Amino acid sequence: MDGTDPESESDVESTPERTEPNHEEDSSDERGAAEDESNARRDPPETATIGPSEFAQGVSARTPPIDESIPDSDLDLDSPEWYLNRELSELSFQWRVLYEALDDRNPPLERLRFLSILTRNMDEFFMKRIGGLKQQLAANVTEPTVDGRTPRDQWTASLETAAELFETQSQCFTRDVRPLLSEAGIEISGYAELSDADIDRLRSYFESSVLPTLTPLTFDPAHPFPFISNLSLSLAVLSEDDAGDERFSRIKIPANRPRLISVADPGTPLEERSDDHRVVKIEEVIEANLDLLFPNVEIRHTSTFRVTRNAEVRRNEDVAEGLIDRIEDVLRQRRFATVVRLEVTECVPDPVLDLLVTHLEVDESEVFRRSGPLALGDFAELCELDYPELKLDPWTPRQHPQFAGLSPDAPGDVFEALRERDKLVHHPYHSFRETVQRFLDAAAHDPDTLAIKVAIYRTAPDSKVIRSLIDAAKNGKQVAVMVELKARFDEENNLRWVKRLEEEGIHVAYGSIGLKTHSKVALAVREEADSVRIYSHVASGNYHSETAKGYVDLGLFTVDPDIGQDLIRLFNSFTGHSRHDQYRKLLVAPETLRSRIYELIDREIQRAETGDCGRIVAKMNALEDPGVVEKLYEAGRARVEVDLIVRGICRLRPGIVGVSDTVRVHSVVGRFLEHSRIFRFGGDDPAYFIGSADWMTRNLDRRVEAVAPVEDPTLRSELDAVLSVMLADNRTRWTMRRDGSYVQRRPEPGEPSRGTHGVLMDRARRTAPDDRSHPGSDPGREPSIDLDEVYTTDPFDG
C-alpha cells in the first residue's frame, strides 16, 4: 500500500453546515450505560490502544477515540454530536497506517515502508489540512463545522493528536524496526560507532562529493535570516569565532545526494552493494566535517530541523488570466507559503529553537521535538535492498483472463473481445498494461477508430497513456484530452503534458472554473460494418501505470450505447461552454449523483419500512458529506442493514441504539492502498455501481465525477466476491466503534488468517490464464461467505 493518496485532498471547511451546536450528552442514560457494558463484553479479551509508550503487538489494536461523548438516540440529527470531526477522522486513519509499522506480523522492511508512508501522509496533512485551518485562523473565521468545532478547536486538537502520532512513529523506528534491521545486516550506524578507517573514507567522500554542493547561510547583522524551503532537511549550526561572537548558520541538506550513505563504499549506490549494508545519515557526515565549511571557528552545536509550509495557496480563478497562468502562480506561491510545522531533533538548545520559532513565525504548538530521525520518508530506499526474508512476497499483476492473448498489434481482436461482453478489471490484481493500456494502444493504431477521448487527473511522469494518445493523433484520429490542471501536487507534471499534447495538435481542455474534473473515463469511437460503436471505460483510478501497481482500483469496459452517449455528453461539457443536466445511465456530479444516491438510500428505507430486507453495502475512500451521513442515519432508524467499507475519513458514528446499530463501518489497511468505489443497494434485485466519487461534499457538489452502473450478472458476482472477502477479513480489517475508535480484527484461535489483499492475490493467481486450474471457471463469491449475512458474525459490532 502507498498510503499517500493525492486524491484525498479536499478544501478545508470554511463555512458551517450546521450552526447550532447541541451539547446534550447521554452519559447518565441507563440505556447508554447498558450498551457500553454490552460493547465491553463483545470486545476481544485483550485490546490495546495504540500510543507512544505502548506497542499493541500480539493483541487486537485499538486506535484512540475521536469523541467519547455519545449522542442520545432521540437527539435531532442536525446536532453536531452525530458527526465526527473530519480532521481527527483523517488522523485516525493515520493511526491505522502507523499500526502496519507497529505490527510484528509484518516483516521489518515492510514495517519501515509504512513508517515512510506515514511521513509522506503527514507531510500532506500539514500542507493541506493544517494549512487550510491556519488560513481560517488568519481570517478570524470562528463558525463551527458540522461537528461543532471551530477552526481553532480543530487546529489545536489536530496538533495534539499529531504529536502523539509522531512520537509513536519515532519510538517504533528506534525501539523496534532499527534493531530488527541491524540484526539482519542493515545497520543504520551512528558516527561514534565507526572505525577510523570508516571515518577517513567518509571524509574523503564528503570533501569530493558533498562539500561542493553545500551553501552555508549565516544569520548576522550583515545577512538576513535565510529562507527555508518546504520539506527541506536543514542543519542548524551554532558557532563561535575567536572574538567570542556567536553565529547561527543554516545548511540545507542536499536533496540530490543520498540521504543514507554506504559506510563501506560511500560513492556507490547502496542497492549495488552485495554485502556490508552499513549506512550513515548524510547529516551526520556533514556534522562530522564542518571544519571544512567553517575553518577557524568553534562549533558549539549542531542539530537537524525541517519546515513544512502551507500548500493551500488560492486565488480567485475568475480574475486569473488563465488556468495555466494561475497554476504556475500557485506553484510559485507555495514555495514561500506560511510555515505550518517545525520539526526539530530532541537535542536542539533553547537559543536555536527560539531563533527558529521567531523567524519562521510559528506557534509553539506547531513545534515537534522528534526523538527519532527526521524525514523518515527518505529511509524507504532501504526497502529496495535484496533482502527477501525481510519483505512481503513480491506481487506481479496477473493477466486478466478475458484479455489473454490480445495484442495491440491486432487491434481488431481487442475490440472484438470487448464487444462480446462487459469486462471488469481489478488493479493491481490485473495488469494495467495488459488491459487499460492495451485498449488505448489498440485504439491508437486501429484503422477503424475515428476518435479517442480521455479524462486525465493524474498520470505517470513517463506516461505510456500520453504516448498512445500522441500516436493516435499522428495516425489521424481525433483526440481530445481533459487534463485537470488543479490536481494537487501533480500540477507541474500535468502542465508539462498539456504543453506536449498541444504541440502534437491534440485538443486539450484544462478543466472547469469552480469545478475539478475528477472523472476517470475514456472512450474510443469506432466505425464498424453495422454502425459506429462507442467503447467506454469508466474507472475509479487514474490513468497512471505506476499507482496501478499499488492502488486497488476497478474499471468497467462496456459497449453499452447509453453509457457511451453519456460519456460523449460529458466530454462535450469539458470542451464546450455548457453542462448537461440529464444522463441516461451514468451518475454524474454535480448534476445527478447526489440526488440518485439519496433516491437509492430512500428505496432501501422504503423496503425496510414495508417489511422487506433493506440492504446497503458501500465501499469508498471517505464518507464526509453531512447530507449523506444523515440519510444513512435515517436508513439505520428504518432498520436497513448497512455495511460501509471506508478506508479513511468517516463522520458517521455506528452502533448507536435506535439510530445506527444496524450500520457497521469497516476500514481495510494493508499492503495496497484501497482506492476503489463500489456501491450496492438492495438485498434482492440489487443495483451496483462503480466510479470515481467518494461520498464527500467536494465529490458530490464541487467536482465532475462519473459513476457507472454494473449490469452484467457475472460482473455483479465479481463485485460481490470482492465485498464479501473484505467483510470476512480478519487480518487487515478494522471495525469502527461509536466513539470513532477502531479495533483491528484478529483470527480467533484455530481460525485461518484472511487478509483481503492476500485472498484476492490468490484468486488472481488461480484465474490467470497461465496458472489457473479450471480455465472456464467463474470466480464468483468466496465459498461459504454470504454477502447478505456476513454482518451477523462481527464480534466488534458496537
- Which residues does the annotation mark as catalytic? 518
- Amino acid (1-letter code) at residue 278: R
Q: What whole-number distance in Å separates Cα of residue 543 and Cα of residue 561?
A: 23
* Full DSSP string of 510-549: --BTTBEE---EEEEEEE-SS-EEEEEEEESS-S-TTGGG
Q: Are 416 and 405 in contact (CB under 8 A)?
A: no
- CA–CA separation, 4 and 8 (whole Å): 8
CA dist 468 and 465 (Å) reads 5
Amino acid occupying residue 604? E
DSSP reduced 3-state for 744? strand
Give how far Cα 449 sits from Cα of 188, 431, 440, 452, 473, Å. 56, 24, 11, 8, 11
DSSP string, 607-645: HHHTTS--EEEEEES-B--HHHHHHHHHHHHTT-EEEEE
For 741, phi then psi, to 5°, come to -80, 160
Q: How far apart are CA 545 and CA 610, in angstroms?
A: 48
The cell for 152 is 481553532
One-letter amino acid of 590: P
Sign of the alpha-carbon torsion through 27, 33, 37, 42 = negative
Q: What angle do CA 604, 606, 607 make, to 5 degrees?
A: 65
DSSP assignment string, 561-594:
HHHHHHHHHHHHHHHSS---S--SS-EEETTTHH
Axis-axis angle for helices 131-138, 151-171 (nearest 10)? 150
How many other β-carbons are positioned within 10 Å of the β-carbon of residue 116?
Answer: 23
3-state DSSP call for residue 250?
A: strand
Distance CA 261, CA 344 (A): 22
Unique residue bearing C-alpha cell 484503422: 447
Residue 50 near residue 62 (C-beta atoms within 8 A): yes
Q: Residue 532: beta bridge partners?
A: 527
* Alpha-helical regions (H) of 52-194: 86-102, 108-124, 131-138, 151-171, 178-184
Spatial contact of 734 and 743, defined as CB atoms under 8 Å apart? yes
**Directed axis angle between helix 108-124 and helix 86-102, to 10°?**
160
Alpha carbons 507 and 431: distance in angstroms, whole number: 29
What backbone phi and psi angles, to 5 degrees, belong to 47? -135, 125
∠ CA 757-760-766, rounded to 5°: 140
- Which residues in 41-103 belong to E strands, given as ranges? 47-49, 60-62
Contact 451, 524 (CB under 8 A): yes
Q: Decide: helix, strand or coil at residue 665.
A: strand
